[in-house]
Amino acid sequence: MTGERLEVLLSQEQLKGKIAELARAIEADYKGETVLLVAVLKGSVHFLSDLARELQLEAQLDFMQTSSYGTGKSSTGVVQIRKDLDINIENLNVIIVEDIVDTGITLSHLRELLSTRKPKSLRVVALLSKPESRKVHPSVEYIGFEIPNEFVVGYGLDYAERFRNLPYIAILREG
């Protein structure tokens, strides 16, 4: 028999607790400053929304969309910008909000691109990181959870556009 199974990796409670911790760390580093949270669509949408509402700082929001994955599970290694920012980030404290850093290729490309626009500062918060699958090593200043090299879905993350609305993160097992 073939089929799909979802194995819960991170519960709603674990996500909520970690997002509060990340918010406290960010607040401590940007006391009295305004930040621009840049979410990478679509996977970061719930993380951005929960983090932004937890954060006790003045925060602006903007969105970018990249694509490198197509509809499957493995990266093509080619990063395209499908939607760019609306806001001019010159002299702003930019924080890139990522759902997951896997090979690091997407983030490395984004960091390079945004740093050419002369932000006042540029940092990254990633909810998940798969350290074992890095091919390049962009800095990630705030990391929620380091996870094993398994394909995960839920809380914004998809497999062929499915499972984005799950309130938890699960490993997708097949067969």
Residues that bind ligand XMP (CB under 6 A): 40, 43, 68-69, 75, 98-107, 151-153, 157-158
Asked if residues 58 and 124 have their Cβ atoms less than 8 Å apart, the reply is: no
* CB-nearer residue toward Mg ion: 57 or 96: 96
CB of 128 to Mg ion, least distance (A): 10
Give which of Mg ion, ligand XMP, none residue 103 binds (C-beta under 5 to 8 Å, depending on kind): ligand XMP
By CB under 5 A, tell whether 154 contacts Mg ion: no
Three-point CA angle 108, 141, 156, nearest 5°: 70
CA 87 to chain centre: 19
By CB under 5 A, tell whether 99 contacts Mg ion: yes
Q: Give rounded-to-5 percent helix, strand, coil for the chain.
A: 25, 35, 40
CB of 44 to ligand XMP, least distance (A): 7
* CB-nearer residue toward ligand XMP: 95 or 152: 152
- Which positions from 40 through 79 interact with Mg ion, judged by CB under 5 A? 40, 43
* CB-nearer residue toward Mg ion: 57 or 66: 66
Strand partners of residue 81? 66
* CB-nearer residue toward ligand XMP: 92 or 101: 101
Give which of ligand XMP, Mg ion, none residue 151 binds (C-beta under 5 to 8 Å, depending on kind): ligand XMP
φ, ψ of residue 174 in degrees (nearest 5): -125, 155
62 in catalytic set: no
> Which stretches does DSSP call E strand in 42-86?
58-67, 80-83
Rounded Cα distance between 24 and 144, Å, is 12
Task: Point out which span in 27-35, 96-104, 143-151, 163-171 binds Mg ion (CB under 5 A).
Answer: 96-104
CB half-sphere exposure, 1, CA atoms < 13 A: 3
- The catalytic residues are 102
